[in-house]
Structure 1
Amino acid sequence: MTMTVNAADLYQRVSHVVPAIEWATMVEDVEAIMRLKVERNAVILAHNYMTPEIFHAVADITGDSLALAREAIDVEAEVIVLAGVHFMAETAKLLNPDKTVLIPDLASGCSLAESITAADVRALRAANPGVPVVTYVNTSAAVKAESDICCTSGNAVEIIESLGVPKVIMIPDRFLAANIARKTGVEVITHPGACEVHERFTPADIADIREKWAGVTVLAHPECPPNVVDAADYAGSTAQMVSYVANQHPKRVALITECSMSDNVAQQFPSTEFVRPCNLCPHMKRNTLASIRHALETMTNEVTVPADVADRARTSVERMLAVKVGK
């Protein structure tokens, strides 16, 4: 198949990780998606864990969960396709109730979101009266609706500190809660949830990377266990990892997070060598060019939130977005 000029231009964005012979199998879907975005007045929001052909070639807005939540507010398109997981699509719908929000694959879940229910939150409140509930955005709208305020891995410290209280309920990620508690000094009551990608990393993995790659700088996601964070040189959200590389210019770096993150960031920093430890998120990888194309062609896999849940969940998200986050 002969690539159009547009497709050829797009290929330059992913040529560092996608072989030309593989790109040739993607061109038809890429061109169809670009056409459908115009026909449907649609925009694609893509999380940092998307594969490069989605992240660099067809996405209009990219970033971590906080960036996508903020950008979703200003989307003017009539249709939003959320290339990520279900809770992200729900958040986009909360912030854009009058728009159509599609997800490429309805089975794109999240181990954290599935680890806790609205009933669990009510039980935690009953056991800890008066203690505010801070809920990670990696949760369902129903759980957000039972919360006081949301947070992401990128703004959790500021959110906790903004409350000015000695104790909080922070759910559902027990590792993120433990890491944030150490940074803030606030007592944290949590829930036994964990990210199936980040919980698998160990200090031994970090030691192995350092042994094999001299001078490597190790950046860990705060969903990793505390002993992994301690073994790293820096811990932060995916957006904070990008900022670290941009500001510190390490010669060699390992991002302790989902596989596709390194592929997507490497293009921005050609002078930095990226070591690629790889734990895949099976839910994120359900997003493909074919599934995005199908969602736009058929306008299926729409994500909706019941009005009574949406109103309360939206309040928790909006409270989060109102908190100023430092650079």
Structure 2
Amino acid sequence: MSVVQEELSLKDRVLQLKKEKNAVILAHYYQEPEIQEVADFIGDSLELAKKAAATTADIIVFAGVHFMAETAKILNPTKKVLLPDLKAGCSLAESCPPEAFQKLKDQYPDHVVVTYINCSAEIKAMSDLVCTSSNAEKIINSIPADRKIIFAPDKNLGKYLIDVTGREMLLWDGACIVHEAFSLDKLIDLSIEYPKAKIIAHPESESHILQVANYIGSTSGMLNYVKTSDYDTFIVATEAGILHQMQLDVPHKTLIPAPAKEDNSCACSECAFMKMNTLKKLYDCLEKEGPEIRLEEELIEKALVPIKRMLEV
């Protein structure tokens, strides 16, 4: 059997199992193309949270990273939530340990705590509001002007929000290694090579990258910008997995991944955690109904409060 035939048969088996078990597969844009192709829904963190909250499936298979599957479990405490590889973590989430964050909270008890959804369930449970890159500006603007704010864990997104909202915020010193991997020098060289290209960037990127971007937005925002723009060439500064769906949306346009500081196989920035999930692991976890995300009931109840507030806003 050829590799192509084997891959096709594996996809067919995933689709069959999904139907038999009344399961739904939610996949992030940064997943491998073959996983995106079997998913019921592909989206960014906000879109996936909404889909997880609304699903009627018995089993949720989350093709993403650990904090995303945790969010799905918080929103669906009675459903079985599976993650193809439990080691698929997140450098940003891991940069904010609960014990250390509690110490910061204790120092500033009068501050409203807003956390980016890219954090652990424990950090969400310590929060007043959760946000995503899609709705972060709206969430910050919903907080009364006289209230002080702690924003965690992403300092780059926090700096961007300070710029666009004019609010002063106390920022946790965390960052995503993927979005800090872009080389400004290489990006400028690339823009000289493609002078008509528009640079689009995720707000988790460093300030010097955002300063040269023509558009800054969430994963879904970037997709919409490329689809609706009159321009036909784009340099994309976010995880390279987005290029699969983006190219499907705009097959006639030219998409160029923003170059990374380090030389690697794709000369772009990829999330090693996202790429830990494979189609085979997805099939195995659906067949065995594991690994399963398990959270204590008390933790779920506490973490659900700020997520619900976000969805209401």
TM-score, normalised to structure 2's length? 0.94
- The aligned residue for residue 24 of structure 2 is 43
- The aligned residue for residue 172 of structure 1 is 153
SS, match of residue 239 in structure 2: coil
SS, match of residue 199 in structure 1: coil
Query: Which residue of 276, 284, 307 maps to 1:317?
Result: 307
Instruction: Quote how far apart the aligned CAs of 1:244 are.
Output: 0.7
SS, match of residue 180 in structure 2: helix
Query: Which residue of 263, 285, 302 maps to 1:295?
Result: 285
Map residues 8-23 of structure 1 onto 2, 5 A cutoff: 23=4
Unaligned runs of 5+ in 1: 2-20
- The aligned residue for residue 231 of structure 1 is 212
- The aligned residue for residue 144 of structure 1 is 124
Query: Which residue of 88, 91, 101 maps to 2:68?
Result: 88
For 1:299, the aligned partner's letter is E
- The aligned residue for residue 153 of structure 1 is 133
CA deviations over 1:184-203 (Å, ceiling 9, x no partner): 01011111110010011132
SS, match of residue 219 in structure 1: strand
Task: Determine whether 1:133 maps to 2:107.
Answer: no
Query: Which residue of 25, 32, 49 maps to 2:13?
Result: 32
| Change beyond 3 A, Cα 1:273–1:22 | farther
SS, match of residue 231 in structure 1: coil
CA deviations over 1:39-72 (Å, ceiling 9, x no partner): 11101000010111111x2000110000000111
- The aligned residue for residue 271 of structure 2 is 281
CA deviations over 1:237-279 (Å, ceiling 9, x no partner): 1000011112213210111011111122101112211112311
Computed over aligned residues only, the root mean square deviation of the Cα atoms, in angstroms, reads: 1.2
Once residues 249 and 301 of structure 1 are traced to their aligned partners in structure 2, the CA distance between those partners, rounded to angstroms, is 45
CA deviations over 1:179-233 (Å, ceiling 9, x no partner): 1110001011111110010011132232022022231111000000111101111
For 1:41, the aligned partner's letter is N
- The aligned residue for residue 308 of structure 1 is 298
SS, match of residue 24 in structure 1: helix
- The aligned residue for residue 193 of structure 1 is 174
Once residues 4 and 76 of structure 2 are traced to their aligned partners in structure 1, the CA distance between those partners, rounded to angstroms, is 34
Instruction: Quote how far apart the aligned CAs of 1:123 are.
Output: 1.4
Equivalent residues, number: 303
For 2:42, the aligned partner's letter is T
For 1:182, the aligned partner's letter is D
Once residues 204 and 183 of structure 2 are traced to their aligned partners in structure 1, the CA distance between those partners, rounded to angstroms, is 12
SS, match of residue 262 in structure 1: helix
TM-score, normalised to structure 1's length? 0.90
Instruction: Quote how far apart the aligned CAs of 1:22 are.
Output: 5.7
- The aligned residue for residue 98 of structure 1 is 78
- The aligned residue for residue 182 of structure 1 is 163
Is the contact between residue 121 and residue 147 of structure 1 (CA under 8 Å) also seen in structure 2? no
Is the contact between residue 262 and residue 274 of structure 1 (CA under 8 Å) also seen in structure 2? yes
Once residues 306 and 3 of structure 2 are traced to their aligned partners in structure 1, the CA distance between those partners, rounded to angstroms, is 43
- The aligned residue for residue 233 of structure 2 is 252
